[in-house]
Amino acid sequence: MIVADRRAIVTPWEHLRLPHEVDGSAGAFRAPLSTYILGMDNDYEDIQAWLALHKSPATQRAYRKEAERLILWAIVARGKALSSLTTKDATTIGHFCTDPRRASAGLDPRGHTRRRTGARLSTTSRRARSPMR
């Protein structure tokens, strides 16, 4: 997890405290307080309120896990608050969720590197070649 002092400390979701720059309190797409019906101050509080709407503990756990992944991806991979993610970010995380290894290596779904145009890498994944399958 991310903590304000940026040391590599794993923190449970319930104790997560995000640095102000990425906590969403000034998110690009945060509604003005005068029109914001939930009344939460940051992305973490928004997610907590959203999770509380679900009665099933199993649903809460599943949604919390995915929300935690999304908020951490926004901060670590995109360097921004969850409430500042754009459509381009959503497309990027879609590619990442489809194949995290390729996405983290900067590859698009066809195996082209995003860093250089025209470069083509092997479309066979390591997993497919692995004798451990």
Q: What is the DSSP string of 45-99?
A: HHHHHHHHT---HHHHHHHHHHHHHHHHHHHHHH-S-GGG--HHHHHHHHHHHH-
pTM: 0.64
Whether residue 3 has pLDDT greater than 50: no
Domains in the chain: boundaries: 1-90, 99-133
| Inter-axis angle of helices 43-52 and 57-78, nearest 10 | 160
Answer for the pair 70, 33: CB distance below 8 angstroms, yes or no.
Answer: no
Question: What does the pLDDT look like over 46-60, one tens digit per residue?
Answer: 999 999 999 999 999
**pLDDT (mean) for 85-94:** 88
What is the maximal distance between C-alpha atoms in the chain? 59
Rounded to whole angstroms, how far apart are CA atoms 45 and 28?
16
